[in-house]
Amino acid sequence: MESALVIGSGIAGMSSAVELAGKGVKVQLFSPFPSERSQSVMAAGGINAVLKGHEEGDSIASHIEDTLKGGRYIAGERAVRGLCEGAEDIIDHLEKIGTVFSVNESGRPDRRAFGGQSHKRTCYCGASTGKQIVSALIMEVRRFEAKGIIERKLWRFFHSALIKDGVCYGALLFNEITGKLEAYCADAVIIATGGQNKLFGKTTGSTQCDGYAAARLFMQGAKLKNLEFIQYHPTAMETYQKKMLISEAVRGEGGRLFYCEGENRVYFMEEKYGSGGNLMTRDVISREIDAVKKDVFLDISFLGRKEIERRIPEVKDTCLKYRGIDICNEPIPISPAVHFFMGGLAVHLNHETNIRNLFAIGECASMYHGANRLGGNSLLAAIYGGRVAAGEISGRRVERESINYADILEHENERLDMLRQSKSSFPVNYIRDMVADTMNRDLGIVRNREALERGISDIDYYLSVADRISYDSSVLMYANYSLKGILTLAKATLISAEFRKESRGSHFRSDYPKESKDYEASSIISYNDGKFDVCLDKESVYES
């Protein structure tokens, strides 16, 4: 193929753009804001890879097994194999383009231990791995921009895809500067728009990621997968503006979780799971904190100021800056917060959705992580997925079919004009806040049928008024037109969670607390004119 649209310019989007450009495919790279604002810069921990000179006993097979086990055996084995086998080449490439890794004595990327992994294999760049990779990739994109192979377009928000008879021909983007919809056609379209954080209001991630692109494509016929699997990070600190992530490194350094009973501290994780209790996986700790129903704290003060400043300076700074807490003397008040979405657009091994020539990569695609993601695998999957999609697109023959988009553009512009005229007692921001309240209440760490059905009923009500909201000219047009898609995605997520009548990975049902063989497969949900259909992908149609 000769041309592609890449929508989203975080690490996944930039990786695919660079790979495509390197193979001579012309790329238009769209995003509302520059890559420096993408959620990718917030990925602190690292990127997994079994490199030459690995820890004794480690192997690619071990990385594969850790990933499959972490995902409770519903991720595609072939997909995970490709990911883990491709990891070393990705690290080599990142080094080559100048990523500033933390290095060992021989000048190669250093590695640290990460939760859920049997060996030390997480390459890192201090406490800002994502940011350092973003900086390097921006330069690579710039190299191809100068050659005219990549064209970056800012202030463009995804609106919808141009689809005819199950084939994608391009996309409509809303230009917030001109206030107009623009149509772009290309041989292939790659969606790289991140996870659906905003469904839950305040999370540990970026405010820019809301899941709308996946939602709109779902309404246009794309299938979604594993939406019920949402990773809660157990240790986030509440601030006025967001839930601030407190790194797993604090527990790695010996941090102890407790709650107070009168004057006494109850170290509930150690009492239940023994000395390693504080290092249990994210889903287990989140559930235990949820069950305590009391204020929970994380204490690392016993490590002493000198060691804290040496080993976890960023955590010390964050707590002091945002809550005035000196972790050398006092514990950190924590609670679990939504952190990562394993679910998203259903894709095949080549990252193509069920719509031909429409691809999805990064967090908006559901691949590799199954029912729970390992730390250090998301950056790897973002880059690997971008490469796979690019390889497929560049190797595919151009199809000379086209679409007459003039009518679609006119129709969608009319709809936006109608939206601009709309007045009612339902302001768009009010409904967005209500959706977040519903999702946090009914799709929390522990779910049950009653709560999920209540959530579905609430979202149904908001959907019934979504076409007659009060247009708010003081927020982005995007915030107005994206509402219906976001509500539809919220409903699809609740339905998927209700459908899975078992507990697996990050999905825990108090009414079905056991993992069940009957559900050892991904869930797939589709949409047809207001109707939602969900089933299990027992034949492994996707991710294979």
Partner 1 sequence: MRVRILRQQTSLSESYWENFRVDVPKDMTVAGLLDHINFNDDIIDENGNKTTRIGWECSCLQGICGACAMVINDIPALACETFIKDLKKDEITIRPLRKFPVIHDLIVDRSVIHENLKKINLYIGEYHPVKAKNLKKAEKEHRQQYDVAKCLKCGICLEVCPNYVNGNSFFGALFANECYLVSSRNETEKKEILKNYEKHFGNTCSKSFSCMDLCPMKIQTIASVAGLNKNSFHN
Looking at the Cβ atoms of 131 and 159, the one nearer to partner 1 is 131
* Catalytic site residue from 111, 156, 216, 282: 282
* Min separation Cβ 146 and partner 1, Å: 4
Q: How far is the CB of 427 from partner 1 (least distance, A)?
A: 5
- Token pair 């825990």: residue: 508
Q: Distance between CA 132 and CA 129 in Å, rounded? A: 5
The CB-of-239 to partner 1 minimum distance in angstroms stands at 8
Query: CB under 8 Å to 543, separation ≥6 — which residues?
Result: 75, 76, 78, 79, 225, 346, 347, 348, 349, 366, 367, 368, 522, 537
Show the 3-state SS of 427-446: EHHHHHHHHHHHHHHHCCCE
Query: How far apart (Å, rounded) are the C-alpha atoms in residues 71 and 65?
Result: 10
Nearer to partner 1, 88 or 145 (CB): 145
Which residues make beta-bridge pairs with 151? 28
Which residue in 193, 175, 192 sits closest to 184, CA to CA? 175
Residue 107, Cβ density class (10 Å: 0-12 exposed, 13-18 middle, ≥19 buried) = exposed
Give me the residues that bind partner 1 (CB under 8 A), please.
Answer: 33-34, 36-39, 41-42, 95-98, 100, 103, 125-126, 128, 131-132, 135-136, 139-140, 142-143, 145-146, 152, 154, 177, 206-208, 239-242, 244, 318, 321-324, 427, 429-430, 433, 472-475
For partner 1, the closer CB: 42 or 403: 42
Of 455, 423, 456, 429, nearest to 442 by C-alpha is 455
| Closest distance to partner 1 from the beta carbon of 136 (Å) | 7
| Cα–Cα distance, 143 to 449 (Å, whole number) | 53
The nearer residue to partner 1, 135 or 496, going by C-beta atoms, is: 135
Q: How many CB atoms lie within 10 A of CB 417?
A: 9
Q: How far is the CB of 333 from partner 1 (least distance, A)?
A: 14
User: Which is closer to partner 1, CB of 168 or CB of 469?
Assistant: 469
We find the least distance from the C-beta atom of residue 189 to partner 1, in angstroms, to be: 23
Is the dihedral angle over the CA atoms 494, 495, 499, 500 positive or is it negative? negative
d(CA 471, CA 324) in angstroms, rounded, equals 40
User: Nearer Cβ to partner 1, position 27 or 64?
Assistant: 27
Q: Is 256 a catalytic residue?
A: no
Catalytic residues: 282
